[in-house]
Chains A and B, each alone.
Chain A
Amino acid sequence: MIRFILSKLLYLVPTFLGITIIAFSFVRILPGDPVLLMAGERGVTPERHAELTAQLGYDKPVVLQYFDFLGRLFHGDFGNSLVTKKPVLTEFLTLFPATVELGLCAIIIATLIGVPVGVLAAIKRGSWFDQISMTTALIGFSMPIFWWGLLLIILFSGILGWTPVSGRIDLLYYFPDVTGFMLIDSLLSGQKGAFTSALSHLILPSVVLATIPLAVIARQTRSAMLEVMGEDYVRTARAKGMPPSRVIGIHALRNAMIPVITTIGLQIGVLMAGAILTETIFSWPGIGKWMIDSISRRDYPVVQSGLLLIAGLVMLVNLLVDLTYGLINPRIRNT
């Protein structure tokens, strides 16, 4: 097992190096110039421009800059934002919990609803429940979520006034960050109503973010169940007169879960892409919005290191999924 993990990790090294090259080179060939953006409509003299460029270290040969970048990475230095002048890692870690909270909440909603719906749809294949839920799932899967988010804001916050419009908690509550997760911090603060306020702020964005993963999970669960239920051993169990609930519970569900878990794990990439849109719409102070803003501000260090951190994270989660898969299904270990 350890050898399996090690080989997987070793396999990641070249990929990670590739990611650094992409993150670095893409960002460095971005057109536009942070110095000019800082100067705005006023403009900047060529001398001052050269001076500022040199100060930022962008006058050196690009290859040299790359090795500088790599060298600093090994020391855990992700550079400083050009806009706020703060270390990128600090900013990432400040904003990251907000994205994780949103993402986790979304994936929990997606799993808690998606898996039972998928299982039920598979069992009652062809029933009205199957048809309606699968149609709904396909609609969810086809949803432009940026539009969906806007509609939900109009409906739930605008017309009905049920949920807050944006933000993470009612501003009347104030307590210091402990974990960065608003739900946990609000509980720790002990302030009355803080937790429900945080929860009510979280619900709409996470529903929007959960839409596509929910649809994918429901569909995947259904087809995995169908496949397993068609297998010989399930048929055998059924033929032997085992009660259907046991057949489904013991044999089918357990085996169907393997591809489902993979699917859930693979949703992290989808979630990150969705987070960009969801956070933009709901003014959610997370990584996605930070990346978008930084791209448009040409904040090179943030875009570079942000891309790197996000890709690294996706890679890690994929590795974890791989490992879990290996644990559940020992056959894979040897291939």
Chain B
Amino acid sequence: MKMITRMLVAASALAMTSAMPALAKTFVYCSEASPEGFDPAPYTAGGTFDASAHPIYNRLTEFKKGTTEVEPGLAESWEVSEDGTEYTFHLRKGVKWQSNEKFTPTRDFNADDVIFSYDRQGNAENPWHQYIPGITYEYYTSMAMPDLIKSIEKIDDYTVKFTLNTPEAPFLANIAMPFASIVSKEYADALDAAGTREDLNNMPIGTGPFKFVAYQKDAVIRYTKNPDYWGTAPIIDDLVFAITPDAAVRLQKLKAGECHLMPYPAPADIEGIKADASLKLDEQAGLNVGYLAYNTTMPPFDNPKVRKALNMAINKQAIVDAVFQGAAEPAKNPIPPTMWSYNDAIVDDAYDPEAAKAMLAEAGVTDLSMKIWAMPVQRPYMPNAKRTAELMQEDLSKVGVKVEIVSYEWGEYLAKSMEPGRDGAVILGWTGDNGDPDNFLSVLLSCDSAGDGGANRAFWCNEDFSKLLKDAKITADPAERTALYEQAQVIFKDQAPWFTIAHSTQYVPMSAKVSGFVMSPLGDFTFETVDIAE
């Protein structure tokens, strides 16, 4: 046995050294999850977009690298009508589609591609709407595109006009999101003719910086540089995703030089990474929030005073230390500090068990026992909900509140936490889609979302608050919008429908040889700017 191991080890060491000649620059990314597919439209997972929308495709508008600002993408410029309902996009000329062994494009990107990309998602009559049985367009639907878009017209080959039903301030940011990636109409037609429509999802053709080469399920995705890319060409020649779901294994691979960069390190490993000279660590405040949502329709939690008292009884810093290992900022607002309109003037409720006890007594609440729901899964905004719940349980017991921790299977958890009569407070969170405050506040806290199927899990409906959001949504002027959102945050803090937990910091460990990686506040991983030193 020992002999065999030794022989193999020797052999593998040999293989390592002999296989190393650097003919082309290959960048290996230890990704976390397998992509669901390579058509960005039907899917919702960030890991899928990192493998499809970002390397392979482009959108009309793009987020400027490292920010949530919108910049021109496949649309070079645009005009918005006075009333904010008509968007006219002027498309970039000379953008080449990629090719693969089965498809060679005969024309450049044009208006037909734009119309096709949107119509197949919104129009049930489009033959490509159901090109794979059971396919749905969740992002398109949940971003309210079907209600918002009245029509999309082709003015000429390089001009497209979108007409909206109502003005929507975040529209340009919405269409920079992965689901709005532009796919090739010509490729789709060719697949139609060949009878292999599902290849749109298996062998993607885009306009982006990298070309898809191959995918071995649950193991490896390979890309190569797109030589005809219309933007700045990537520096590396080949891009490889090594799918490695376990954080500890990912780090181990990074240390062993088996990959150059990894997402989502375990919080506990951060110190070790910082101490390792062969590694670098980029960090950035995440565009997210973790929260505990009370059921504001159930006594005694319908009383803002009780909610405030409970908030004061929980030691936020202890959660940040023990659960996030310090890799987070204690949250006082429902939106993260990196987002515009964040109201920094707000003062967080101090941790004060004595005062909390007094407030509870004042509100006439004694012998309170409650449930805290802890999510069964790990999310970027909440590395360990059970541990968080345990800490809260301890803290609340000190002010005489008995806590029972409950958990359900993830899908059930999401569903049951939305049921109006829910017993208990729910730990959950949110990661921003497009950097707009509306994407946090309206989705999570407005009266509209407090109804059936909405994501307002505090069931909190404050007319003043919702009014401010509605006004902000149809206001085009950023300064005015900022003022409205700042005001909304004041109401939120006063009413305390949530205990805001933390905004977790994103860490990206990489080999010290890597340069040029730009972190995205939206949590995307893109590699067209990275380089590796020899």
Contacts and interface: CB of A to CB of B under 8 A. Distances in A.
A and B touching (Cβ–Cβ under 8 A) = yes
B460 to A, nearest CB: 15
Interface in B204-228: 214, 216-220, 222
Contacts of B42: 85
B138 A39 contact: yes
Q: Which of B16, B20, B26 has the most CB of A within 10 A?
A: B16
21 contacts: A39-B414, A41-B414, A42-B443, A43-B418, A43-B453, A43-B454, A45-B453, A46-B453, A85-B201, A113-B1, A165-B249, A170-B16, A176-B214, A192-B19, A193-B14, A193-B15, A193-B19, A194-B19, A280-B246, A285-B218, A289-B218
B65 interface: no
Interface stretch (A10-18, A26-34, A120-128): A26-34
A214 to B, nearest CB: 10
A48 B449 CA distance: 15
A254 B113 CA distance: 71
A38 B44 contact: yes
B240 interface: yes
9 A-B pairs with the lowest CB-CB distances in the bound complex, closest first: A200-B12, A285-B218, A32-B411, A45-B453, A193-B15, A285-B219, A37-B411, A196-B15, A196-B11
A36 B418 CA distance: 11
B138 A153 contact: no
Nearest to A30: B409
Contact of B19 (A166, A173, A298): A173
Contacts of B196: none
A74 B138 CA distance: 33
A84 B36 contact: yes
B134 A85 contact: yes
Interface string B455-484: 100000000000000000000000000000
Contacts of A48: 141, 453
Nearest to A201: B12
A197 interface: yes
Interface in A159-211: 161-168, 170-174, 176-177, 192-194, 196-197, 199-200, 203
Interface string B353-380: 0000000000000000000000000000
Nearest to B255: A158
A167 B453 contact: no
Contact of A171 (B8, B258, B429): B258
A171 B11 contact: no
Contacts of A281: 246, 249
Contact of A166 (B142, B249, B454): B249
Contacts of B219: 98, 167-168, 285
Interface stretch (A49-57, A232-240, A321-329): A49-57
B61 to A, nearest CB: 22
B253 A165 contact: yes
B19 A42 contact: no
Given A48-B141, A171-B242, A41 B134 contact: no
A223 interface: no
B368 to A, nearest CB: 28
A94 B15 contact: no
A201 to B, nearest CB: 8
A174 B217 contact: no
Contact of B455 (A43, A49, A164): A43
